[in-house]
Structure 1
Amino acid sequence: MPGPLTEALPAGTKLDKVERTGKNCHRNQGRTVRTKYLIIGAGPTGLGAAHRLRELGEADFLVLERNDYAGGLAASFKDGKGFTWDIGGHVVFSHYAYFDALMDSLLGDERLEHQRESWVRSNQAWVPYPFQNNIRYLPKDARWECVEGLLPGNRPDAPPENFAQWIDAVFGPGIARHFMDPYNFKVWATPPELMQYGWIGERVSVVDLKKVLRNIILERDDVAWGPNNTFKFPLHGGTGEIFRRLADRLAGRIEYNQAVNRIDAKTRTVATEQGLTVQYDALLNTAPLDILAREWLADAPDAMIDAAGKLTHNSVYVAGVGLDREPDAARDPRCWMYFPESDSPFYRVTNFHNYSPNNAARPGEQLALMCETSFSRHKPENVHELMDRTVDGLVNSALLRGDRVDDILTRWEMAVDYGYPVPCLARDNALSILQPGLEAMGIQSRGRFGGWKYEVSNMDHSVMQGVEWAERMVTGTPEKTYTLD
């Protein structure tokens, strides 16, 4: 996918990239070139597609990337103090043998494997994730409220029409109030009643009253749920190291600093803001689908423009707070933590030094706390105030002592316009207009924002959407991860 839309925030450290992969490729500016396969965006999907084309013996392809580095939303950055940061808390886990083999070839032994340890901060208590399976950690009143909401007759029986109603029907009013409702609003920056629930699948652990009661009475923890209960992470360079190495394999086929501004499907040409025109036979777009339809696509039908206007997304602010570890302090083993409550702006904090000690400037001696806050028209935020509010939230959440605020060594920040595609109520209908319309024009749009399906936008999903597009183009094999039905 394309690189993030970022805003320079004066309070933050200069956003120095970690070993920027991209060299400024201006040799084709002001000229027209031709390629068989054109790919917009050198993120996970675009790079996956290009890599697979090469494996299949296709050399006539070109990738256009608006930034001067590869990786898109999976890029990593090093700040002026030597700390490495991702654009949010990425972890590597997989549903695909091909993806596993690709990671093996890219990283080899230069990665770490972790058992997930994640927690929820609720009612001034730490509750192991999944919250609904571990409510025994809550204060007694809140614990009872969660159990009471699960008892027969206390959950709605009517089929849910939106995500908010699904939460009430599955979890009851207690768990909804103490975690599901406030957390989901914080992460999506969208009221749950404006979202559908068909995307959930393996991403949300549903609740079992018998299990909840057993865990309370027998004082058992239930923490192994989910596809990412174990995950891997690069030893050096953050998540972006994966895609820097993948881009290196495609040297000479990626044009950096080329921002698309027009696509003419009739003449099969793409023009960039920098004056490059590319004629293509087949086109894969991994940039945001709404931008493609509303801004780039020449003579787009009104129905497609209207449909694109119904797609919604949130934006994400990422704050990196780095400081020295106190010599005698016990190591915090947690990977990441969720924050449904209002005493912090962020919805998630990652102990990024636990992913790899090399994410800190002095490995093993420093803490790297990576915090994520969402915003949208439903949940506006002043990004210029968010770093100070983030630090206050770390103190309020007992992750940082108040007397250590002055010890902070680095405050890195990035605002990403397109954070997550929201599965809003109108999404599926909009996609049913947009994707077949693009197919009829000979264009496929895939990836987190190219496809706009959150349920298939993990890192492995995103790479495989590109891989499967390449296989479809060359061998005619149907795509499996992203389908139009």
Structure 2
Amino acid sequence: MKTKYLIIGAGPTGLGAAHRLNELGCNDFLVLERNDYAGGLASSFTDDKGFTWDIGGHVVFSHYDYFDSLMDSLLGEDSLYHERESWVRSNNTWVPYPFQNNIRYLPADARWECVKGLLPGHRPEATPANFGQWIDHVFGQGIGKHFMHPYNFKVWATPPELMQFDWIGERVSVVDLKKVLRNVILDRDDVAWGPNNTFRFPLKGGTGEIFRRLADRVKDRIEYGQAVAAVDAGAKTVTTARGMTVEYEKILNTAPIDILAGRWLTDKDGAMVDAAGKLTHNSVYVAGVGLDADGIEPDSRCWMYYPESDSPFYRVTNFHNYSPNNVARPGEQLAFMCESSFSEHKPEKVEELMDRTIQGLVNTTMLDAARVNDILTKWDITVDYGYPVPCLERDAALKTLQPRLEAMDIFSRGRFGGWKYEVSNMDHSVMQGVEWAERMVNDTPEKTYTLD
């Protein structure tokens, strides 16, 4: 089989590229997808009790007009719109997100620790060398102690001292001492910060419905169940585990770049293997817990963050609030979607995580202990590649890998293909594929993912 453009992976980036190539009048492309479904990490699944689950708490918000128009065309009126309501569980109480702007909800001692850490002379003034130092430099030791340090270790499963901080951008609200004090003294909430303070969600089918519909537009160009086994850049062929061989001119890879460069590529050199080995990621266990809402007060919150050790998860999503159709009997049931991370720095016994998740829901007041026996469904999925960690060695590794790959006509983009968490939201991921397609056809420069 021959094709001009070979796309590895039918996730958001691969499908974005395929769709844009098709729009630009180029039908000479092929998508190889290892699974028997499209969507990648943005897939959704319905369990045998009729509950729908995502692979983690995805929400649709955007930085791009093209992405907005694409979502409109895919979902039409099959969309719901929400105002974000998110909270942090700290010191046995609930604090509105962003935590640092709403510390008035904390007990007095913890509140004072947070304020004290922000006072002049209390924050380290030296230029930070890593994310851990950046936290204390920007937020002070109090906010670091009560939220930023424990939460970030919990979500990344990596000590913040082993991470860079250049990825932060719009993902973390920096702190303003004047604002903090004003909010404390005047009892004001400050909850509207962030690009995802409003978001869209599909009416039915979970986040995966978006990509099922997008895949359907190019379904004749997708080969499912074809996991890549080898990439021969010299011969310009890709071989799959099932024995398919595809000749190509250019590749868009959306699979993890460390696997591509360190395992699949037959023409790799020692520098590429070494660079690939320096990239780190965490793994994520997603647990879905569903039950009838009988006797449980309605909870308007979208999702909650958990920095403390009384639960294994770092985030819980009230998935029943995203769409009533995420449960089997709309309006009558609850769906808690819980995410826990693990790595060599934070090992977990995955086989115990469902039980620990349920106990964590009890410990953090999400679930009454008397209702544990009423749980109707327990769904889970373990994702080996959860988050690409912005480790201290990441940028140097990518500067080694990406130019070498592009010299071979291999372009690696997407959440793990590009390995830049700062541009791996859903809209970023789709647009990386779109912009790559425009570069191939129209020779226009990519803007979202750059090699700088």
Distance 1:134 1:269 in 2: 55
2:230 is matched with: 262
Task: Provide the C-alpha distance between the structure 1 equivalents of 2:186 and 2:16, rounded to a whole number of angstroms.
Answer: 47
Deviation at 1:203, TM superposition (A): 0.1
Partner residue, 1:203: 171
Note the alpha carbon deviations across 1:388-445, whole angstroms, 9 max, x for none.
Answer: 0000000000000000000000000000000000000000000000000101111100
C-alpha deviation, 1:290, in angstroms: 0.3
Classify the secondary structure of the residue corresponding to 2:123.
coil
Of residues 97, 107, 114, the one that matches 1:146 is: 114
Partner of 2:409: 442
Question: SS at the partner of 2:288?
Answer: strand
Normalising by structure 2, what TM-score? 1.00
Q: Counterpart of 1:39 in 2: which secondary structure? A: strand
Between the aligned partners of 2:414 and 2:29, the Cα distance in structure 1 is 18
Q: 2:277 matched to 1:312?
A: no
3-state DSSP of counterpart to 1:450: coil
Once the two structures are TM-superposed, the CA of residue 331 in structure 1 deviates from its matched residue by 1.2
For 1:198, the aligned partner's letter is D
2:90 corresponds to 1:90: no
Letter in 2 for 1:235: L
1:148-187 correspondence runs (5 A): 148-187=116-155
Give the letter aligned to residue 115 of structure 1: E
The equivalent of 1:418 in structure 2 is: 385
**Partner secondary structure for residue 385 of structure 2:** strand
User: 1:261, 1:225 → 2: CA distance?
Assistant: 44
For residues 187 and 162 of structure 2, what CA distance do their matches in structure 1 show? 37
Is the partner of 1:368 in helix, strand or coil? strand
Deviation readout 1:22-70 (Å, 9 max, x if unpaired): xxxxxxxxxxx00011000000000000000000000111000000000
1:470-481 to 2 correspondences below 5 Å: 470-481=437-448
TM-score of the superposed pair, with normalisation by structure 1? 0.93
Which whole-Å CA distance do the structure 2 matches of 1:37 and 1:184 have between them? 39
Offset of residue 338 of structure 1? 0.1
Aligned to 1:482: 449
Q: Secondary structure at the match of 1:81?
A: coil
1:466 match: secondary structure: helix
User: Which residues of structure 1 form unaligned runs of 5+?
Assistant: 1-32
- Distance in 2 (CA, whole Å) between partners of 1:299 and 1:463 is 29
Work out the CA distance in 2 between the residues paired with 1:311 and 1:214. Answer: 42
- Partner residue of 2:7 out of 39, 48, 52: 39
For residue 406 of structure 1, what is the amino acid of its counterpart? Answer: N
- 1:274 is aligned to 242
Query: Which residue in the other structure is 1:354 paired with?
Result: 321
Structure 1 Cα separation of the partners of residues 218 and 406 of structure 2 = 27
What does residue range 291-440 of structure 1 map to in structure 2 within 5 Å? 291-327=259-295, 329-440=296-407
The correspondence for 1:464, drawn from 411, 428, 431, is 431
CA distance in 2, matches of 1:428, 1:326: 51
Unaligned runs of 5+ in 2: none
Cα distance in 2 for partners of 1:131, 1:221 equals 10
Which residue type is aligned with residue 67 of structure 1?
Answer: N
1:252-279 deviation per Cα after TM superposition (whole angstroms, max 9, x unaligned): 1000000001001111100000010000
Distance 2:103 2:46 in 1: 38
- Cα deviation, 1:73-127, whole Å, max 9, x if unaligned, reads 0000000100000000000000000000000000001010000000000000100
1:133 and 2:92 correspond: no
* Distance of 2:343 and 2:4 partners within structure 1: 39
Q: Distance in 1 between matches of 2:237 and 2:425?
A: 30
- 1:244 equivalent in alignment to 2:212: yes
SS of 1:419 mapped into structure 2: coil
Deviation of the 1:330 alpha carbon: 2.7
Q: Give the alignment partner of residue 123 of structure 1, picking from 80, 86, 91.
A: 91
1:232 aligns with 2:197: no
User: What count of residue pairs does the alignment treat as equivalent?
Assistant: 452
User: What one-letter code is carried by the residue in structure 2 that aligns with 1:246?
Assistant: L
Distance 1:293 1:282 in 2: 16
Aligned residue type for 1:366: Q
Shift of 1:282: 1.0
Instruction: Specify the SS of the correspondent of 1:448.
Output: coil
Identity of aligned residues (%): 79
CA distance in 2, matches of 1:219, 1:251: 54
* Deviating 4+ runs (over 6 angstroms): none
Q: Structure 1 CA distance, aligned partners of 2:297 and 2:77?
A: 28
Q: Which residue of 2 aligns with 1:15?
A: none
Q: What RMSD, in angstroms, separates the aligned Cα atoms of the two structures?
A: 0.5
**In the aligned structure 2, how far is the partner of 1:40 from the partner of 1:358?**
32
